[in-house]
Amino acid sequence: MYESPSISLRETLHKRFEILETLRENPQRKPELVADVESSRSTIDRAVAELVENGCLENVDGEYHLTPSGRVSYSVHREYIDRMDDVAQTAEVLNENPSLKEMDITFLREAEVHVGDRYIPESTLEPSIERLQNASRLVGLAPIILTSYIDLVEAAVDENGLSAEIIIHRDAVKRLLDFRDSFTEIVKRGDVTLYVTEDVLPYSLWVMEGDRKDTAGVTVHQHKGVQGLLLNESPRAVSWAKDRLESFKEGSVPYRPSEE
């Protein structure tokens, strides 16, 4: 039966990646490989033969070196492993909210993961609270509004001069503004701008901008409680989050205090 070269290469990389990684910066002879990867000589013989057959290794005076194709194969497979590690790390949080299935791998890569505490779920928010206290600007989606969120935003506005843009569903606006006069006041002052949308907000995505680093985050809610938090400060992740937030703002309208 015919086997596609790409299938053979994928299977070989999956099985023999440790060999390829060992030889990437340090070409070796087979006896040295046996000692380095702690495998039998027969296993090394089979692994090297498969990697040579798939064009990843070549024998130079008895030492095995990665070919140009082998280096490319190494880089591609290394990236695949890293991406799968990112997905595995975030799985417990992501699976709490089915809407998170659309999260971009750019955001998940190297995300800082905080899983909700069973007994004190809102303690999970501590890393984001620390960043909020040093932020000059906050932009975020608010599918769920907890009392603690109102307290935190008010304090950051009054004490640190935070400006905030919050995208909220139209049905929640009156409830939010009726909840506390002091929050309504900071909306009237323009310290907090509400963007009103008819769209369903899938998750609590936000970006905080500060003097040092901008941070993108997703707060995961389930059954009206905090189930987890994902944070990422990489420029690519922050850029993706900002673009996503802009797309929601484009489908919303700024709230005017006279509307309610």
Domains of the chain by range and CATH?
A: 5-76 (1.10.10.10), 95-259 (3.30.870.10)
- pLDDT mean over 26-53: 91
CA distance 86 to 103: 12
In 10 A of CB 228, how many CB atoms? 23
Give ∠ CA 160-219-252 in degrees, rounded to 5. Answer: 80
Residue 37 pLDDT exceeds 90: no
- Residue 20 burial by Cβ neighbours in a 10 Å radius (0-12, 13-18, 19+): buried
pLDDT tens track for 79-135: 888 777 766 766 766 676 666 667 787 887 778 887 766 666 667 778 888 899 889
CA dihedral (244, 248, 254, 260) positive or negative: negative
CA distance 236 to 114: 20
- pLDDT mean over 134-162: 91
* pLDDT at 213 (0 to 100): 86
| pLDDT-based confidence at residue 137 (cuts at 50, 70, 90) | very high
Give ∠ CA 196-198-203 in degrees, rounded to 5. Answer: 85
CA distance 257 to 130: 30
pTM of the full structure? 0.66
Q: Are the beta carbons of 14 and 58 closer than 8 angstroms?
A: no
| pLDDT-based confidence at residue 224 (cuts at 50, 70, 90) | low
Q: Are the beta carbons of 174 and 145 closer than 8 angstroms?
A: no
Token pair 């590690």 is found at 85
Q: Which helix or strand (DSSP H or E) is residue 3 part of? A: none
Sheet containing 135-141: order of strands: 112-115, 225-232, 215-222, 204-210, 135-141, 163-169, 192-197, 253-254
- pLDDT mean over 197-201: 90
Q: Which long-range contacts does 24-27 make (Cβ < 8 Å, 24+ apart)?
A: 24/66, 24/71, 24/74, 27/60, 27/63, 27/64, 27/65, 27/66
